[in-house]
Structure 1
């Protein structure tokens, strides 16, 4: 199976006042295409920083990341943006929908940026799949948190990304709503054959994925592969 993400000896340091704070220290792992993968660890362990680096949202200090066959440290900002637009999907804890656009428009935007002539119809189909076929014209402020995250799910899958990064996708949702969103996430992921990388503090959610790495103090303390029923 081809590797879609390869992380090698990754190190990330931030300046904090008069001293350097090492957030990630010697991180190495790889992910196969189509795999479901979770990154867990306590607050401050470097989970979100690691996701941002893997997705090309932040710059590497030391080490290498190869995403979809491309070494990220060899790309400029425009090239990184193009790679993300063509290959990568995102789901964030705080939804990050555009408040001035309807649900349908929020899902259509990434498709329009790719020049897809059927953007509107694809967006409608995805909103129907996540149970929001009657919410096309609603703005984010008119939707509940769970509904907003379902719009975000539809948007993330709209461009059929090779890999999808989800950062605490249920962090702002109650338990019942979160479970419904996760069920939709895994259903869409299976249907589209996407590689799924989830950052979460929810160990029950992590157990749904094929592999789990645990971070502590910026280092990997375990890398577990499991057989899913």
Structure 2
């Protein structure tokens, strides 16, 4: 299988006052097309920083990242943004829905930005997949946390991404709702062949993925799978 994400000898340091804070140190791993992958670790271990670097939201100090066949080092900010728009989906812990748009409108924003002609029809199909077609006209404030995350999932998969980055996708949800979101993530991952990279502190969730790494103090402590 070809690699959708390849990380080699990645390090990242931030300046904090008079001191350097080494957040990631010599991290290497890869993710195959269609594979589910978890980045696990306690708070402060560098998980979210690593996700941001892999998605091209930040730049590395040392090492290289290949995302969808492109070396991120060779791309400027506009180039990285174009690559994300074409290939990458995101799901966040706090949903990040636009409050003035309905559920359907939130889902179809990425489609409309890409000039898709039947965006509304595709948006309704996606909402139906996550069980929320009957809530299409509701605003985020009228939806529960679980419903908002299901809308966010539908939006993330709207452009049929090659890879989806999910940052603590069940962190703000109760156990039952979180389990349903996990099921949907894996269902859509299999159905669309989208590689899935999940940042989580939840070891049970990590065990459900094809492969995982455990970070501690910015270093890979363990690789499973």
TM-score (norm 1): 0.97
Q: Report the CA distance between 1:211 and its aligned residue.
A: 0.3
Q: Secondary structure at the match of 1:182?
A: helix
Tell me the equivalent position of 1:29: 29
Per-residue displacement from partner, 1:78-98 (whole Å, max 9, x unpaired)? 111111110000000000001
Q: Which SS does the other structure have where 2:213 is aligned?
A: strand
Q: Indicate the RMSD between aligned Cα atoms, in angstroms.
A: 0.6
Match of 1:216 in 2: 216
Q: 1:17-65: per-residue Cα shift (whole Å, max 9, x none)? A: 1100000000011111111100001110000000000011111111100
Cα distance in 2 for partners of 1:24, 1:32 equals: 22
SS in 2 for 1:134: helix
Query: Which blocks of at least 5 consecutive residues in structure 1 are unaligned?
Result: none
In the alignment, the residues of structure 2 paired with residue 173 and residue 149 of structure 1 have an alpha-carbon distance, to the nearest angstrom, of 9
The residue aligned with 2:62 is 62
Q: What is the alpha-carbon distance in structure 1 between the residues aligned to residue 28 and residue 183 of structure 2?
A: 29
CA deviation vs aligned residue, 1:92-146 (integer Å, no higher than 9, x gap): 0000001111110100011111111111111100001111011111111111000
The CA deviation at 1:69 is: 0.4
Within-5 A mapping of 1:119-158: 119-158=119-158
Q: Distance in 2 between matches of 1:81 and 1:140?
A: 26
Q: 1:74: Cα distance to partner?
A: 1.2
Alignment partner of 1:74 is 2:74: yes
Partner of 2:23, secondary structure, is strand
What 5-or-longer segments of structure 2 have no aligned partner?
none
Q: Which runs of 4+ in 1 moved over 6 A?
A: none
Question: C-alpha displacement at 1:168, in angstroms?
Answer: 0.2
Provide the residue aligned with 2:182 in structure 1.
182
Partners of 1:96 and 1:174 in 2: CA distance:
18
1:148-170 deviation line (CA, Å, top 9, x unaligned): 00000000001100000000000
Distance 2:29 2:180 in 1: 30
Q: Does 1:198 align with 2:201?
A: no
C-alpha displacement at 1:188, in angstroms? Answer: 1.1
**1:108 matched to which residue of 2?**
108
Structure-2 residue corresponding to 1:165:
165
Give, in whole Å, the separation in 2 of the partners of 1:51 and 1:21: 18
Cα distance between partner residues in 2 of 1:211 and 1:183: 17
Cα distance between partner residues in 2 of 1:83 and 1:118: 23
TM-score normalised by the chain length of structure 2: 0.99
State whether structure 2 residue 89 is matched by structure 1 residue 89.
yes
